[in-house]
């Protein structure tokens, strides 16, 4: 049986602009002999930097200097460079949501950075818990190098931190003199609800780092992301760049395609994704029953499902695979891999028919594993 996979945060191939992207590639290719025969430099493609600065200005309503935008190999490289620039290499510790992006967890582990997790609620990182954590660390004589947060369409929970809570987080960060690194990988993958402003638009701490991506509003295969940071933090970040810059070919074609239609493209992609989100939420509600808590995220690519107490998520995944459906284990998003009653489902890539079929298969698997954690 073919497996319907809801395990990975891929985007929607149905709205990928094959012809227009091919035309953009045709247009730029003949002009690129010099650019392709030279290294791109640490900041990356000037046109794409200007376009991403414009994207940020349009969304946040504040000036963003393209000279403060660094194009990276996906936002994953931005996570690594942005957080490493806050660290010293000894006794590094960061504070972050206790459930977060698995790639970041693995990168922080590899960099030898200690992670201290803060629990989440429907609005993301809990401020009472953050305040307690920072006080406790202070009592131990330890100062986090940064607060790394996914405040908008949090991966995996889908939570959005309100602007009021962002202001509370900023106040706490200031009191403890800790910079914020905001990973806004899903920024603009928006379906409904408020769009709270980014931390850099609310706070002028010059040590702040902001990370964006083209993976989720365009396509992960182009491997393009970016960092926004001001000097001297910008220089600290660039000092950690040893790859001679990002991919010129991908940058130039993506820029050529998006330059006159950025927001039209985003709207078109979001329209397609919203249909899939709705299909998955309604499929899960229908097939999993009301003993599961099913998120209905206002943006991003994931549904976070809390399973009934008597269900072991690992067993559900095994039996789900037998029924031809795959989902991600919630514990893989926990910074210490703690077992919790959660699974995450990604809805961007599968078709609506697959979403309907896959959620039904998951419902069948769930009925078979009731009692597995009793």
214 or 366: whose CB is closer to ligand PLP? 214
**28-53 CB burial, b ≥16 within 10 A, e <16:** beeeeeeeeeeebebbbbbbbbbbbb
The answer to whether 71 touches 44, Cβ cutoff 8 Å, is yes
Q: How far is the CB of 75 from ligand PLP (least distance, A)?
A: 3
Query: Reading across the β-sheet that carries 302-306, which strands appear in turn?
Result: 293-294, 302-306, 342-346, 328-329
Q: Which of residues 76-105 bind ligand PLP (CB under 6 A)?
A: 76, 79, 101, 103
Q: How far apart are CA 84 and CA 356, in angstroms?
A: 42
CB of 275 to ligand PLP, least distance (A): 21
| Binding region for ligand PLP (CB under 6 A) out of 62-70, 212-220, 280-288, 334-342 | 212-220
Buried b (16+ CB within 10 A) or exposed e, 146-183: bbbbbbbbbbbbbbbbeeebbebbbebbeebebbbbbb
Cis peptide, bond prior to residue 51, ω within 30 of zero: no
Vertex 267, ends 266 and 270: CA angle to 5°? 85
List the beta strands (DSSP E) in 91-223. 93-97, 114-118, 120-121, 124-125, 146-149, 180-183, 209-213
213 binds ligand PLP (CB under 6 A): yes
β-strands 120-121, 325-326 pairing: unpaired
Question: Closest separation between CB of residue 103 and ligand PLP, Å?
Answer: 6
Pick between residue 21 and residue 226 the one whose CB is nearest to ligand PLP.
226
Minimum gap (Å) between residue 59 Cβ and ligand PLP:
17
Q: Which stretch binds ligand PLP (CB under 6 A): 75-83, 249-257, 260-268, 276-284?
A: 75-83
**Which member of 9, 124, 283, 330 binds ligand PLP (CB under 6 A)?**
9
Closest CB 142 distance from ligand PLP, rounded Å = 25
Residue nearest to ligand PLP (CB): 74
> What is the per-residue binding string for ligand PLP in 220-259, x denoting contact by CB under 6 A?
x----x----------------------------------
**Which CB sits closer to ligand PLP, 146 or 288?**
146
Q: Which is nearer to ligand PLP, 144 or 225 (CB)?
A: 225
* Mask for 182-201, x = binds ligand PLP (CB under 6 A): -x-x----------------
Per-residue mark of binding to ligand PLP, 122-161 (x: CB under 6 A): ----------------------------x----x------
Do you find a cis peptide bond into 91, omega within 30 degrees of 0? no
**Beta-carbon neighbour count of residue 106 at 10 Å?**
12
Minimum separation from the CB atom of position 205 to ligand PLP (A):
21
Strand residues in 256-324 grouped as ranges (E): 293-294, 302-306
> What part of residues 35-74 is at the interface with ligand PLP (CB under 6 A)?
74
**Segments in 30-175 forming alpha helices (H):** 33-36, 46-60, 74-84, 102-110, 127-139, 163-175
Q: Could you tell me the smallest distance in angstroms from the CB atom of residue 78 to ligand PLP?
A: 7
Q: Which residue has the tokens 């009731």?
A: 370
| Tokens linked to 75 | 């936002």
Whichever of 9 and 299 has its CB closer to ligand PLP, that residue is 9
* Interacting residues with ligand PLP (CB under 6 A): 9, 74-76, 79, 101, 103, 150, 155, 183, 185, 213, 215, 220, 225
């Amino acid at each position: 049986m073919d497996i319907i996979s809801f395990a990975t945060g891929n985007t929607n191939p149905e709205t990928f602009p094959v012809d227009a992207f091919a035309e953009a590639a045709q247009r730029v290719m003949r002009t690129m002999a010099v650019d392709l025969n030279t290294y791109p430099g640490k900041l990356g493609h000037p046109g794409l930097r200007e376009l991403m600065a414009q994207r940020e200005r349009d969304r946040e309503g504040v000036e963003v200097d393209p000279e403060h935008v660094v194009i990276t190999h996906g936002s994953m490289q931005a996570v690594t460079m942005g957080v490493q620039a806050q660290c010293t290499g000894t006794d590094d510790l960061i504070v972050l949501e206790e459930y977060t992006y698995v790639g970041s967890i693995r990168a922080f582990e590899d960099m030898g950075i200690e992670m201290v997790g803060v629990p989440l609620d429907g609005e993301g990182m809990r401020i009472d818990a953050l305040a307690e954590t920072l006080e406790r660390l202070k009592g131990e004589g330890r100062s986090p190098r940064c607060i790394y947060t996914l405040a908008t369409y949090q991966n995996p929970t889908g939570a959005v931190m309100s602007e009021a809570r962002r202001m509370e987080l900023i106040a706490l960060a200031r009191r403890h003199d800790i910079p914020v690194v905001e990973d806004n990988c899903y920024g603009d993958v928006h379906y409904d609800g408020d769009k709270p402003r980014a931390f850099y638009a609310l706070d002028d701490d010059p040590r702040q780092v902001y990370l964006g991506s083209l993976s989720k509003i365009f396509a992960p295969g182009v491997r393009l992301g970016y960092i926004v940071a001001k000097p001297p933090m910008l220089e600290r970040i660039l000092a950690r760049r040893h790859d001679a810059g990002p991919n010129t070919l991908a940058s130039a074609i993506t820029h050529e395609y998006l330059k006159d239609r950025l927001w039209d493209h985003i709207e078109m992609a979001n329209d397609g994704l919203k249909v899939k989100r709705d299909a998955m939420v309604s499929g899960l509600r229908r097939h999993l029953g009301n003993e599961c808590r099913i998120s209905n995220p206002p943006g991003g690519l994931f549904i976070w499902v809390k399973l009934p107490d008597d269900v072991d998520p690992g067993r559900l995944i095994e039996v789900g695979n037998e029924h031809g459906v795959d989902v991600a284990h919630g514990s893989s998003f926990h910074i210490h891999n703690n077992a919790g009653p959660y699974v995450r489902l990604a809805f961007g890539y599968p078709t609506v028919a697959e979403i309907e079929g896959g959620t039904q298969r998951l419902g069948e698997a769930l009925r078979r594993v009731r009692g597995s954690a009793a």
